[in-house]
Amino acid sequence: MAKDVKPTRKNLMAIEDRIELSERGHDTLEQKRDGLIMEFMDILDQAQDVRSDMAEDYERAQDKLNKARAMEGDVAVRGAAAALKEHPEITTQSKNIMGVVVPQIESSKVRKNLDERGYGLLGSSARIDEAADAYEELLETIILAAEVETAMKKMLEEIETTKRRVNALEFTLLPQLYENQEYIEQKLEEQEREEIFRLKKIKAKKEEEEAKAEAEAEAAESETVSAD
């Protein structure tokens, strides 16, 4: 509230400094927000592609698994899955996109050769291989989707935060500072006007008193001359 600010020249200077800083911050945050939105749009395109790939891969993997379960039996498929020794692993690192720390997920042992899946080749069939292949592909897409979607979520959170900051500066802080600046300027101008008016008054009074004193002096002088 402008009324809470003391209308002093020092405060005006402080407010002007804050306005300058806030305007600079506002411009920088606006640029950051626009940059983040551009990066976000790129990631969004990528995420949409990965999502659609994931849906396709899931359909395909489920179809292959259903066919393997139908033709080989649930027991054979579960048995082949149970023979797996080397389970897939993921490691996470981070990278920085315009100040936003997003995860980078590295996977290993997802794609396997025929001899790495644990089940014997002689007693299994291509249906089980193809179901395993399709699920390995799906898992890779899920890991990529996790990376892209987490990055997207983090970017979105950052965009929201930046947008809130820009809005806070644009619609709350800066208007308040401008109002304070205007208030102080007005008050200072008013004080200046009052001062000038007061000085004028004093000057007028002084002149009046001087004139009165002069008149009195003149009267006294004329009385002395007539007495002589």
Partner 1 sequence: MSLVGSSNPEYVVARVRARRGMLYSTEEYRKLTRMSPPEIARFMEESTYEAEINALGSRHGGVDLIEYALNANLAKQFEEILDWSEGELYDLIVRYLRKFDAGNVKTVIRGIYTDASREAIETDLIRAGEFDDRLIRRLLEAESIEAVVEILEGTIYGEPLAAAYEEYEETDVLVPLENAIDRAFYERLLGNLPRGEPVRQYEAFLKAEIDFRNADNALRLARSGAEIDPAEYFIDGGDLFDRDTLARLARDLDELVEYIADSDYADELGPALRELEVADSLIAFEHATDTALLNYGDKLGTRHPVSVTPVISYILAKEREVENIRAIARGKEAGLSAAEIEEDLVIT
Task: Give the interface with partner 1 as residue ranges (CB under 8 A).
Answer: 62-63, 66-67, 69-71, 73-76, 78-79, 82-83, 85, 113-116, 118-123, 125-127, 129-130
| Angle in degrees, CA 167, 170, 175, rounded to 5 | 135
CB of 111 to partner 1, least distance (A): 11
Instruction: For partner 1, give the closer residue by CB, 80 or 148.
Output: 80
Instruction: For partner 1, give the closer residue by CB, 21 or 114.
Output: 114
Backbone angles phi, psi at 108, to 5 degrees: -140, 155
Q: How far is CA 124 from CA 61, 76, 81, 120, 143, in A?
A: 18, 8, 11, 6, 28
Instruction: For partner 1, give the closer residue by CB, 11 or 62.
Output: 62
CB of 132 to partner 1, least distance (A): 11
CB of 84 to partner 1, least distance (A): 9
Instruction: For partner 1, give the closer residue by CB, 38 or 114.
Output: 114
Q: Report the distance separating Cα 93 and Cα 88, nearest Å.
A: 17
8 Å CB contact between 19 and 176: no
Q: Report the distance separating Cα 186 and Cα 161, nearest Å.
A: 35
CB of 138 to partner 1, least distance (A): 16
